[in-house]
Amino acid sequence: MLSGRRAVATTRSPRSSAASVHSRPKPVDAPVMNQVLVVPFVMPSTLRLCKTFHQRILGYLDMPDRNGRRWVPDLDTALLRVLRAVLDTGSFTTAAAELGFTQSAVSKQMRTLESLVGAPLFVRGARGVQATPTGLLVADRGARVLEQLALLDRELFELRSPLAGHVVLGGFATAAVRLVPATIARVQRDHPGVALEFEEGSTPQQIRRLRSGRLDLALLAVGEGLPDYDLQGVAREDLPSGPLLVAVPERHRFAARGTVSVDELAEERWIGGRTPRGDPHFGAWPSLSTPRVVTEIGDWSMRLGFVAAGIGITTIPGLAVGALPHGVVAVRVDDPGWRGRRLLLAWIGELSPAGRVVRAAVRAEAAVLSAEAGGGPDGAAGPRAADRPVDAAVPGREDPA
């Protein structure tokens, strides 16, 4: 009797058919291997089970195929950009601030990247985040990927309009105060088809970015008190930059004088500059052997705010003197032993037509700002922008109207 069982059609005798049916294992006796394998997909009941499954899948993906090729993780370019920012700054917190993210968001993205790569990318130490060999490898290859994508974007942009182009200009913070904005305004006015992008960073960073192809043009500071940078293979030209000046509060004893002696600076309190990577920065007068630095601040506007409050004084290049805030004036320094610094515009290889347009605009605006910096009475720096009459024309610059 086959009650409760499913009938199976057969050409064999009833006896053999019955024997065949009775010899089948009951459903409860069937192997459960297949059921165990699908549990992580259907019912991931424990974190340990999911983790074990994930590791097993990664192990399968790491195995080469029949042609000896291995699986390559599909990395989001956003993760590569965050990785580059973390390595450039040496800090998750600073990278987050530069990218406009929260620190937790940057940490989460780096954990995701480490999971995709399958190895740690960083080691946290007393001096910040240090890259592991895997991290350096991923960053190096990732930088090449990002450079090629950026190049593709620029070439596609130029193909859409032969008269247009995209140029990336790099420069240090004080160059961004007036020279870079004036250059961008000139390019937008005279060549609206050229898109000019700016990346701020120290001179060592600009040189690295220039060599990697990330920049088309870079503003560099060289000279006494700065490292002897390796500029082999880098085309460059000197730009008029004006003198290095000292910014003092308007109530300071130097404020009414056009020029002060370097010996008078020895006992002054200085507001120094700093960068996350320790790159050179404007701060105390370069030829002073032991200046009294009361504090170090990386942000230029904050540093000049400290000067305005009378906490100390600081150095400022002539190109930025026109942007001094209310309550701050600039004076020259008579220092026979100071050989000065130079402002360079640098590039590698042949510039595109759009690049040549930007180069000419930088040179023209640097000449204008340099004339302003040296145009005051008695050799002092020119007047602050806030003190200049609204309708006063700046020599050498066309009226935008």
Per-residue model confidence as pLDDT tens for the chain (401 residues): 444 444 444 444 444 444 444 444 444 444 444 444 444 444 444 444 444 444 444 444 444 555 555 555 677 888 999 998 998 888 898 889 888 899 999 999 999 999 888 899 988 877 788 889 999 999 888 888 888 888 888 777 766 655 578 999 999 888 888 899 999 999 999 888 899 999 988 888 899 999 999 999 999 988 776 788 889 999 999 998 878 889 999 999 999 888 999 899 988 999 887 665 555 566 788 888 888 888 888 777 888 899 999 999 998 888 778 778 889 999 999 988 777 778 999 999 999 989 999 999 999 999 988 887 664 333 333 333 333 332 233 333 332 22
CA atoms within 13 A on the CB side of 68: 0
Residue 52 lies in a domain: no
Kindly state whether residue 317 falls inside one of the protein's structural domains.
yes
CB of 83 closer than 8 Å to CB of 142: yes
235 shares a domain with 192: yes
Domain co-membership, 249 together with 326: yes
How far apart, in whole angstroms, are the C-alpha atoms of residue 356 and residue 376? Answer: 32
Query: Quick one: which H or E segment has residue 341?
Result: strand 341-347
Residues 194 and 276 placed together within one structural domain of the fold:
no
In a shared domain, residues 274 and 355:
no
Residues 6+ apart with CB under 8 A from 168: 197, 198, 199, 214, 215, 216, 217
Determine, yes or no, domain membership for 27: no
Radius of gyration, alpha carbons of the chain: 33
Regarding beta strands 341-347 and 217-223, do their DSSP bridges make them parallel or antiparallel, or are they unpaired? antiparallel
Residue 381 Cα distances to 251, 255, 266, 366, 377, angstroms: 17, 11, 21, 15, 8
Full residue range of the structural domain in which residue 121 is found: 77-141
Same domain? 354 vs 206:
yes
> Does residue 263 share a domain with residue 319?
yes
**Rounded to whole angstroms, how far apart are CA atoms 381 and 30?**
93
Residue 103 lies in a domain: yes
